[in-house]
Amino acid sequence: MGTGLIDLHVHTTASDGTMTPEEVVFHAARQGLRAIAVTDHDTVDGVEEALEAGSRAGIEVVPGVEIGVDYPGEMHILGYFVDPHNPRLQRGLSLLRRYREERNPRMVEKLRGLGFDISIGEVAEAAGGNVIGRPHIAAVMKQKGYVRDFDEAFELYLGAGKPAYVKKDKLTPREGIELVTAAGGIAVLAHPKYLEVSGDKSLQALIEELVGYGLEGIEVFYTTHTPEETDRYFNLAERNGLLVTGGTDFHGNNKEAIEIGKGAGGLAVSYEFLEKLKRRVGNRT
Ligand code: AMP
Ligand code: ZN
Ligand code: FE
Ligand code: FE
């Protein structure tokens, strides 16, 4: 049966969420969700714990990942039902974590140059896991009283083009999608609103290109999509015969306004979309 609500875009302490995989799963169960996908940045380290917690909490857990790839604006590829032990995926993700390790100390150095007393050790401690990102830097800055909140940290220092920003090396869209599909996963274009692409025609051309690389779905339902954008991306998915997914990008206290399953309040993603993903995976094996 297709009843029940889901959240297919959730971060844990394995990347830059503030709840452990187990905490996230039990939190989702308390919120009455039927299923969640754990989609940490550049790692599947939280997946096993989440799957195990899911069986105890009585909620379905989908193994996932989120990979940022090189494209104007932001292009993130979600991978669902990836095999977390796939060697090629493991190698690809550790390369991405190495890119982060090159970038993070440089951002911290820039902040020190701006007069802030902050060290990479403090940032690593704030991160806990082995994926360190800008939200962890923001957390230390907030804790030390250098900024009021995360938005201010990104607005003034950490956002693209701001004084402490350092660009991170990335995979190409093709490489990101292929990493997911090589691990048996379904590749989905996350939050398309953040792509810098002008007009329906260019967006359609881009989707066709990505489908050529193996893209199978679009994240139509997303916390910051307006009703008009949701309609637009739904039609785009339909027109291209793509799967439809949805999720909140829950990060715990690192994105305080976002609740699991609900986003900023109005999100409600039906289990039927997960059923279609499962059918696609099932037809492959
Ligand atoms: P990184 O992966 O290190 O480049 O950091 C990107 C992360 O920062 C993503 O999870 C974004 O969602 C998050 N992020 C970007 N802007 C903000 C903001 N204004 N407040 C909180 N988190 C943000
Ligand atoms: Zn994040
Ligand atoms: Fe994202
Ligand atoms: Fe995300």
Q: Check if 81 has its Cβ closer than 6 Å to any atom of ligand 1.
A: no
Residue 97 in any domain: the answer is no
pLDDT interval class at 2 (50, 70, 90): confident
* pLDDT > 70? residue 261: yes
Q: List the end-to-end C-alpha distance of the chain, in Å, as a whole number.
A: 22
- What is the per-residue pLDDT across 74-133, written as a single tens digit (0 to 9) for each? 999 999 999 999 999 999 999 999 999 999 999 999 999 999 999 999 999 999 888 999
Residue 124 in any domain: the answer is no
pLDDT interval class at 1 (50, 70, 90): low
pLDDT interval class at 285 (50, 70, 90): low
Mean of per-residue pLDDT scores for the chain: 97
Domain count for the chain: 1
Residue 221 in any domain: the answer is yes
Q: Whose CA is nearest to atom 3 of ligand 1?
A: 133
Residue 98 in any domain: the answer is no
pLDDT interval class at 240 (50, 70, 90): very high
DSSP 8-state class, residue 193: G
- What is the per-residue pLDDT across 152-203, written as a single tens digit (0 to 9) for each? 999 999 999 999 999 999 999 999 999 999 999 999 999 999 999 999 999 9
Residue 151 in any domain: the answer is no
How confident is the model at residue 126, as a pLDDT?
Answer: 93
Residue 72 in any domain: the answer is yes
Structural domain span for residue 83: 5-92+176-282
Domain at 45, CATH number: 3.20.20.140
What mean pLDDT comes out for the span 50-57?
Answer: 98
How confident is the model at residue 7, as a pLDDT?
Answer: 98
* pLDDT > 70? residue 67: yes
Q: Check if 222 has its Cβ closer than 6 Å to any atom of ligand 1.
A: no
Q: Which runs of consecutive H residues, i.e. helices, occur in 114-156? A: 120-127, 134-143, 150-153
Residue 106 in any domain: the answer is no
What mean pLDDT comes out for the span 236-258?
Answer: 96
* Contact (Cβ atoms closer than 8 angstroms) between residue 123 and residue 108: yes
Residue 14 in any domain: the answer is yes
- What is the per-residue pLDDT across 6-36, written as a single tens digit (0 to 9) for each? 999 999 999 999 999 999 999 999 999 999 9
* Contact (Cβ atoms closer than 8 angstroms) between residue 45 and residue 17: no
**What is the number of the ligand 1 atom nearest to the C-alpha of 42?**
2
Q: Which ligand is nearest to the CA of 162?
A: 1
CA of 1 to the centre of ligand 2 (A): 32
Q: Whose CA is nearest to atom 11 of ligand 1?
A: 135
CA of 168 to the centre of ligand 1 (A): 13
- Which helix (H) or strand (E) segment is 246 a member of? strand 243-247
Q: Whose CA is nearest to atom 23 of ligand 1?
A: 135
- Which helix (H) or strand (E) segment is 9 a member of? strand 5-10
